Amino acid sequence: MGRYLVTGGAGYVGSHTVLALLDRGDEVVVLDDLSKGHRGAVPTGAKLVAGRCDDPKAVEAAFALGPFDAVLHFAALSLVGESMREPMRYIGENLANVTAVAGAAAKAGCRKFVLSSTAALFGFPERIPIDEDQRLEPASAYGESKLLCERALAWAERVHGMRFAALRYFNAAGADPDGRAGEDHDPETHLVPLAIGAALGTRAPLTVFGTDYDTPDGTCIRDYVHVADLADAHLRVLPLLDHRSVRYNLGNGTGYSVRQVLETVAAIGGRPVPHGLGPRREGDPAALVASSARLRADTGWSPRFPALEDIVRTAWAWHSAHPKGYADRPAA
């Protein structure tokens, strides 16, 4: 099988993708500075180089463990709200990480690159579901940073022959179905872990951000996609990079409102989700739902866990087994 460099492999989507690669017999090197990721999230079987993507020594140490068939680049700042307080840091760091790693990959003769991109590229979309032909108009510095990363990779393609896949994630949620990994952010800002934590009593009650949207129940609609299905999509785009670069929107294609998520968490957990109602969060579009028709047609991808119940069930299992997240788990 192959050998892959996974930056940000100690983070949420990255660690689940590392598991998917190891499960099919690939070798994996993780480059992660552990600023957001967790040592305990790097599975046994993967090698960890602890360092930053913009540290040439760390990147060199990682590439010394190659040669790699491809780089999967997850390492990034990823909070929309934070990006609107520190836009230059977001744009600077996210772009610097991509240019450093893609530059080193080209130098090492590795010409395949998978980028974690985002639905935030589309800002406030004109149509739902969102396909790849919609206008790219980020409404946050985070979205802008990822658009610039995609554009930088197009130059790596033009000059170095680097082929890349940009996967625009919608709302990643859930946990490894075998309980080996889960979601552990600090601070946690995402709806599913906050709702589960509130129901378990490990977190404070949450606030529903806005009840006056133009949606059936007044709360925002998002496309929640299981993290294991996201991981699978990364594996499926790799063979395409023998021929061309690709950009795909990656979601389930079904939208659920904030209220529906809270109801599902309550039903799966068998207890209510303590919450209050609050004002809108700045920058939140009313609805974001993906069309992943292009990805499905080109790769045969389809989600194994399309139902919100399954997404929440795997997340619930992980959070109840690890109420303190990776702090409960010894490093692998």
**What does 131-153 look like in DSSP terms, one character per residue?**
-TTS----SSHHHHHHHHHHHHH
Query: 19: which residues sit within 8 A by CB, 6+ positions away?
Result: 43, 176, 180, 181, 231
CA distance 10 to 170: 20
34's tokens: 């552990």
Dump strand ranges (E) for the chain.
3-7, 27-32, 46-50, 70-73, 112-118, 163-169, 171-173, 206-209, 221-222, 224-226, 246-250, 256-257, 275-278, 287-288
Question: Of residues 39, 281, 294, 296, which one binds ligand UDP by CB under 6 A?
Answer: 281
Q: Which is nearer to ligand UDP, 39 or 203 (CB)?
A: 203
When the beta carbons of 1 and 267 are compared against ligand UDP, the nearer one is: 267
Question: Does 259 interact with ligand UDP (rule: CB under 6 A)?
Answer: no
**How far apart are CB 281 and ligand UDP at their closest, in Å?**
5
Q: Of the two residues 160 and 185, which places its CB atom closer to ligand UDP in the complex?
A: 185
Binding ligand UDP (rule: CB under 6 A), the pick from 69, 86, 263, 284 is 284
Out of 35, 207, 272, 328, which residue is the one contacting ligand UDP (CB under 6 A)?
207
Contact positions with ligand UDP (CB under 6 A) in 147-166: none
Q: Rule CB under 6 A: choose which of 22, 48, 175, 208 binds ligand UDP.
A: 208
Active site residues per annotation: 142
Element (H, E) at 265: helix 258-269
Selected from 171, 245, 252, 292, the binder of ligand UDP by CB under 6 A is 171
> What residues between 179 and 198 interact with ligand UDP by CB under 6 A?
189-191, 194
User: Number of C-alpha atoms within 13 angstroms, CB side, residue 77?
Assistant: 24
Give yes or no for a cis peptide into 138 (omega within 30° of 0).
no
Residue with smaller CB distance to ligand UDP, 93 or 183: 183
* For ligand UDP, the closer CB: 178 or 212: 212
Using CB under 6 A, list all residues that contact ligand UDP.
80, 171, 189-191, 194, 206-209, 220, 222, 258, 281, 284
